[in-house]
Amino acid sequence: MAGLLGWPVSHSRSPRMHGIWLARHGIDGAYVPLPVAPDRFSGTVRALVDLGFRGANVTIPHKEAALTACDMVEDEARRIGAVNTLVFHEDGRIEGWNTDGWGFIESLREQAPAFHVKQGPAVILGAGGGARAVAHALLSAGCPSLTLVNRSPARAEALAQELAARGARVNVAVRPPLEGAALLVNTTSAGMQGQPALEIDLSPMSPGSVVADIVYVPLETPLLAAARARGLVGVDGLGMLLHQGRRGFQAWFGAMPEVDAELRGMVAADIPRHAK
């Protein structure tokens, strides 16, 4: 048994994704949604250990609380300051990972196979949890420099200083410096169903550069549609969702699952293709 801890969780596609993988591998297991209010989170985690669960994913608003619930935390999760994957060991210890950044890099490899993060500078829109995970992952993969663009400059500055402490070249800007940028990543909610679209001029980016959006509802955000219209490579947010779940599944159920067109189609069956 494994599950998803969040408040709420009814919107998540993770149970569907893990259910498909369990069926593919013929595993007698289950992955269940676990709606848990914030004030009950730590007690619920310990109860799951006692019930024999193998672990759980963690989503909003529990990712930071999950960090303190762990006995062991991977370095990447500690640097990001949040945990999205819990692994319960037989001796009762709880280990915490953050696979969001790993999932983002795997999604880049899948949807933009000719691109490598070492090719040039990256620009990240946002400075929240998603930005933190993506920034750490890009730097770990060899990105030469990052620029953070956020509505709150103070928040971006704080993240930039943290990243610079790792020896990285990190800048903060009010407007995205896209000339010469090899990669643009939107980690904000802009472009999500029901949210205003991003107003951004992509013309300074060279053909073949990559534009990624971690939003996956709709699958084709206005930003991705504009990117593809200019001959840029678009990477949607569904790939990050699918790939971030693979390491947890392997830890809990003993098999590394695959992300392929069939899985993508089944998980995305009720996700609108374009913004309404």
Residues with a known catalytic role: 63
Q: Is 14 labelled a binding residue? A: yes
Q: Is 237 labelled a binding residue? A: yes
Q: Is 75 labelled a binding residue? A: yes
Q: Is 254 labelled a binding residue? A: no
Q: Is 57 labelled a binding residue? A: no
Q: Is 195 labelled a binding residue? A: no
Q: Is 214 labelled a binding residue? A: yes
Q: Label each residue of the chain as H, E or C.
A: CEEEEECCCCCCCHHHHHHHHHHHCCCCCCEEEEECCHHHHHHHHHHHHHCCCCEEEECCCCHHHHHHHCCEECHHHHHHCCCCEEEECCCCCEEEECCHHHHHHHHHHHHCCCCCHHHCCEEEECCCHHHHHHHHHHHHCCCCCEEEECCCHHHHHHHHHHHHCCCCCEEEECCCCCCCCCEEEECCCCCCCCCCCCCCCCCCCCCCCEEEECCCCCCECHHHHHHHHCCCEEECCHHHHHHHCHHHHHHHHCCCCCCCHHHHHHHCCCCCCECC
Q: Is 107 labelled a binding residue? A: no
Q: Is 206 labelled a binding residue? A: no
Per the annotation, where are the binding residues?
A: 12-14, 59, 75, 84, 100, 214, 216, 237, 244
Per the annotation, where are the binding residues for shikimate?
A: 12-14, 59, 84, 100, 216, 244
